[in-house]
Amino acid sequence: MSKPEKLIVDGKRLDGRGPFDMRPIKFTAGVLKRADGSCYLEFGGNKVMAAVYGPREVHPRHMQNASRAIVRYRYNMASFSVEERKRPGPDRRSIEISKVSREALEGVVMEELYPRSAIDVFVEILQADAGSRVAGINAASVALADAGIPMKCLVSAVAVGKIDGEVVLDLNKDEDNYGSADLPIAMNQFGEITLCQMDGHLTEEEFGRALDMAVDGCKKIHELQKQALIEKYGQDITPDVAQPIEGGETNE
């Protein structure tokens, strides 16, 4: 697609969304047989599979930490996921994304419960359509929960961008290509930011609005993540307030 004259016409974006609308999002928890936890996510045109293995033994052994588990995160794009074939294997972009995504999730994983072990998160981008790193984090978060890894909460992520001088939520590929800023944000359930990157051009005032928009977007995604887990496990397993277990009964 060549650069369209306008990316916003009469307040509507080219795919018909308003500035605050996200693309369609569908989480499915527990879709892989061998992985301890998994999640398939369609986020607009992104198709993302996340799998979690562990806690398990650490190889190579020198990476072990005697007091806590280590979290490893691999963001990998399939060669067929983009318009021009991507050379397979890690490049500098995916190494950076893996690093910041791991850091976005690590803080909510209760690593201290599993000393000397590894929790491996693998994210495969099967089809990429702008915002694949935030899609990866969203899927990985659900996959970690599906694996039964003790977590303080889920992590939700979304990107905000600027097109035609307007700050809008969740850019699609064309908007990303012809837009002038991209701000991927991840947030935990306590409203704390766990991932924050930006490139492009934003004034301080625009940035403030963009961040507020991302926070609202993350809250909506969090609800969808919770729904996906409820759907798989049949009941609301993430009460907003932890209930004390009475009389030592187990809550099956």
Partner 1 sequence: MSEDVIAEIKRDYIFSLAAQGDRADGRKFDEYRPISVEVGVIDKAEGSSRVKIGNTQVIVGVKMQPGEPFPDTPDTGVIITNLELVPLASPTFESGPPREDAIELARVTDRGVRESGAIDLSKLCIESGQKVWMVFIDVHVLDHDGNLMDAASLGAIAALKNTKVPNTKFGLGEDVPLPLNDVPVAVTAINVGNAILLDPSLDEGNVAPCRLTVITNKEGALAGMQKSGVGTLTPDQIKYIVHIASEKANVLREKLEGIQ
| From 197, 230, 233, 238, residue interacting with partner 1 (rule: CB under 8 A) | 197
125 contacts 75 by C-beta, under 8 angstroms: yes
Binding-site member from 7, 25, 49, 100 for partner 1 (CB under 8 A): 100
Per CB under 8 A, the segment of 23-31, 128-136, 167-175, 207-215 that binds partner 1 is: 207-215
Q: Which is nearer to partner 1, 21 or 206 (CB)?
A: 206
CB-nearer residue toward partner 1: 30 or 179: 179
Per the CB < 8 A criterion, the answer to whether 100 and 197 are in contact is yes
The one among 21, 103, 124, 164 contacting partner 1 by CB under 8 A:
103
Which residue in 96, 223, 231, 236 binds partner 1 (CB under 8 A)? Answer: 96
Determine phi and psi for 223, rounding to 5 degrees.
-60, -40
Rg from Cα positions in the chain: 19
Tokens of 166: 């307007």
The length of the chain in residues reads 252
Quick one: which of 188, 189, 217, 229 contacts partner 1 (CB under 8 A)?
Answer: 188
Considering CB under 8 A, how many residues would be counted as binding partner 1? 33
Q: What are the backbone angles phi and psi of residue 102, rounded to the nearest 5°?
A: -60, -45
Binding of partner 1 by 152 (CB under 8 A): no
Q: Which two tokens stand for residue 109?
A: 């994983």
**Residue 196 interacts with partner 1 (CB under 8 A)?**
yes
Could you say which of 38, 81, 132, 194 contacts partner 1 (CB under 8 A)? 194
Note whether 107 binds partner 1 by CB under 8 A: yes
Contact call for residue 201 and partner 1 (CB under 8 A): yes
> How far, in Å, CA of 200 to CA of 242, rounded?
42
55: helix, strand or coil? strand
Tell me how far apart the alpha carbons of residues 78 and 88 are, in angstroms, rounded to a whole number. 7
CB nearer to partner 1: give 15 or 192: 192
Assign 3-class secondary structure to 107-168.
CCECHHHCCCEEEEEEEEEEECCCCHHHHHHHHHHHHHHHCCCCECCCEEEEEEEEECCEEE
**Beta carbon nearer to partner 1, 26 or 93:** 93
By CB under 8 A, residue 193 contacts partner 1: yes
DSSP-assigned letter for residue 36: S
CA 195, CA 176: separation in Å to the nearest integer? 19
Minimum distance, C-beta of residue 85 to partner 1, in the bound complex (Å): 13
- x/- mask, partner 1, residues 76-95, rule CB under 8 A, reads ----------------xx-x
Binding site for partner 1 (CB under 8 A): 92-93, 95-96, 98-100, 103, 106-107, 181, 183, 188, 190-204, 207-208, 211-212, 215
